Amino acid sequence: MPKKNENEESLLSVFSYFIENKKIDRTTLVSVLEDSFRSVIQKIYGSDENFKVIVNPDKGDFEIYRNRIVVEDDRIINENAEIRLSEARKIDEDYEVGEDVSEKINFSDFGRRAILNLRQAMSSKLLELEHNNLYSKYADKIGTIVSAEVYQIWKREVLLVDDEGNELHLPKSEQIPNDFFRKGEPTRAIVLKVENLNNNPKIILSRTAPEFLLRLLEQEVPEIGDGLITVCKIARIPGERAKIAVESYNERIDPVGACVGVRGSRIHGIVRELRNENIDVINYTTNTKLFITRALSPAKLSSIQLDEVNMKAEVYLDPDQVSLAIGKNGHNIKLASMLTGYTIDVFREVQGEENNEEDVYLDSFRDEIDGWIIDAIKALGYTTAKGVLEAPREMLIEKADLEEDTVDDVLRILSAEFEDDNNASNAEEQNADDEDDEEQDNTEEQNVNDPE
């Protein structure tokens, strides 16, 4: 058996490497290898049209044949497509002009540069194929949950790898605020999108998207997967609180109870996955007033006025229910607004005409306070002066995103309104007292002058 030269051994090692290490189906691999050989042949000969490449990955070998037409020695024009009669007869004495000659080519004879070009062509085509497969795989998984292992933790994102070693990216903006990752631990997230810049796929995951909560519900609540319960709307403040509106067309199924489970057994697993995010489940209804009432639970509303054209709702509550409607850091009213699609303004319903005169709506101060400041405070659910004065100063600064001096000015202006009222009231009382004293003095003086 003849000993292989260095180029042949190098070529076979390249060929064997791609067959053994690339997990690609046989048909695709053969196509990639043939294209790679043809790419290099085209560079060497200028064309690959008259070449036949036979790849046999099962045996780990390949064959290349060049087909040429026999022409008279002095009539040759294209040496790549034509062969001189004298050269053809060296292969077989029976060849005549016009016949086809199929000649086996030893690719290794082209030298090390050709072999390096072949390796590069194979790598490029296989990389392109892997990228296309990766993009197609995860493009079909958008909106579904995947589990991957934490590989690297950076300040702006966490890098994960799936079972096949593909890289998945979880940006900081798509992480729950209370998320804490350890290298090597499994993490679940939803495939948010797949970017494909310059044929380089980048898979973006999310743990904050409403769809992540929806998919978790589908896994924990069989009735949702079976279509017996429909999740109509979801609103989330990731890591803090979420509201879910569900309904069932089967009267025998309680959609809220089914989602929560016995003693919260079904919802607790989801809460833990979402880092103790509180989840409220309510019954969906097409009755807008009733839907808003349920969305603002646990607060009890006195009445609602709707502006369906501008999608606004004014809700009136007893003073002790306002804080429940607004919720901690304004989360309850914000989620209710997100869930219903209505901008919700909360108003205290004070009892009696006298009490109504004691409080003043914030909009009355627009001549003294900038409108955007009033709107920022109203967004927290505070619509009256006394409501703002009773609210924690630090909360107004943080949640309304206002400067300390701005909040102090607002509080000073609002306080002055009630101080003026008190001063006026005190002045009226003092005048009344003075008049009573004067009348009493006049009476005493009359008694002195007219003792009878």
Q: What is the pLDDT of residues 33-63, one digit of tens each?
A: 788 888 888 888 888 888 888 877 666 677 8
Per-residue pLDDT, 444? 46
> Dihedral sign, CA of 269, 274, 277, 279?
negative
Evaluate whether residue 411 is within a structural domain: no
Which residues share a beta bridge with 346?
A: 315
* Stretch 321-333: mean pLDDT: 88
Count helices and strands in the chain by DSSP H and E runs? 16, 15
CB atoms within 10 A of CB 80: 16
Residues 168 and 83 in one domain: no
CA atoms within 13 A on the CB side of 117: 16
154 has pLDDT over 60: yes
- Count of structural domains within the chain: 3
- The pLDDT of 124-140, averaged and rounded, is 86
Element holding 17 (H helix, E strand): helix 6-21
Peptide linkage before 238 cis (omega within 30 of 0)? no
Residue 375 domain flag: no
Asked if residue 71 is part of any domain, the answer here is yes
| Parent domain of 272 | 219-284
Whether residues 36 and 118 fall in one domain: yes
- Indicate whether 405 belongs to any domain: no
Res 317 pLDDT > 50: yes
pLDDT at 393: 82
Query: Is there a single domain that holds both residue 60 and residue 156?
Result: no
Residues 124 and 151 both lie in one domain: no
Confidence band, pLDDT 50/70/90 cuts, at residue 421? low
Indicate whether 70 and 166 sit together in one domain: no
Bigger pLDDT: 311 vs 430: 311
Q: In whole angstroms, give the CA distance from residue 202 to residue 191.
A: 11
Written in H, E and C, the secondary structure of 32-77 is HHHHHHHHHHHHHHCCCCCEEEEEECCCCEEEEEEEEEEECHHHCC
> What is the rounded distance in angstroms from the CA atom of residue 228 to the CA atom of residue 286?
18
Least confidently predicted of 21-30, 37-46, 206-215, 252-261: 21-30
The confidence band for 75, taking pLDDT boundaries of 50, 70 and 90, is: confident
**Domain end position, chosen among 169, 188, 208:** 208
- 357: pLDDT strictly greater than 80: no
Q: For residue range 380-410, list pLDDT tens digits in order.
A: 777 778 878 888 888 888 777 888 888 898 8
201 in any annotated domain: yes
One domain, residues 233 and 203: no
Q: Are residues 176 and 248 in the same domain?
A: no
pLDDT higher than 50, residue 448: no
- Could you count the other beta carbons within 10 Å of the beta carbon of residue 228? 16
Q: Quick one: what percent of the chain has pLDDT higher than 90?
A: 35
Question: Are 224 and 109 members of one domain?
Answer: no
Residue-wise pLDDT for 248-260, tens only, equals 988 889 999 999 9
Q: Which range has the worst mean pLDDT, 184-188, 325-329, 365-369, 440-444?
A: 440-444
For the chain, the maximum distance between any two Cα atoms, rounded to a whole number of angstroms, is 169
Distance CA 82, CA 99 (A): 10
- Give start and end residues of each alpha helix (H) in 359-403: 371-378, 385-390, 393-399
For residues 124 and 53, membership in a common domain is answered with yes
Per-residue pLDDT for 183 more than 70?
yes
CATH number of the domain that residue 170 is part of: 2.40.50.140
Instruction: Flag whether 49 is in a domain.
Output: yes
Least confident of 101-110, 137-146, 223-232, 310-319: 101-110
Assess whether 194 and 233 both reside in one domain.
Answer: no
Most confident of 33-37, 66-70, 185-189: 185-189
Please state the rounded mean pLDDT for residues 220-229.
91
Contacts 24+ apart (CB under 8 A), 247-251: 247/283, 247/284, 247/285, 248/223
pLDDT over 90 (residue 242):
yes
Residues 36, 112: one domain?
yes
Question: Within this chain, do residues 152 and 178 fall inside the same structural domain, yes or no?
Answer: yes
- Residue 146 in any domain: the answer is yes
175's tokens: 């992480």
> Does the residue 266 lie in any domain?
yes
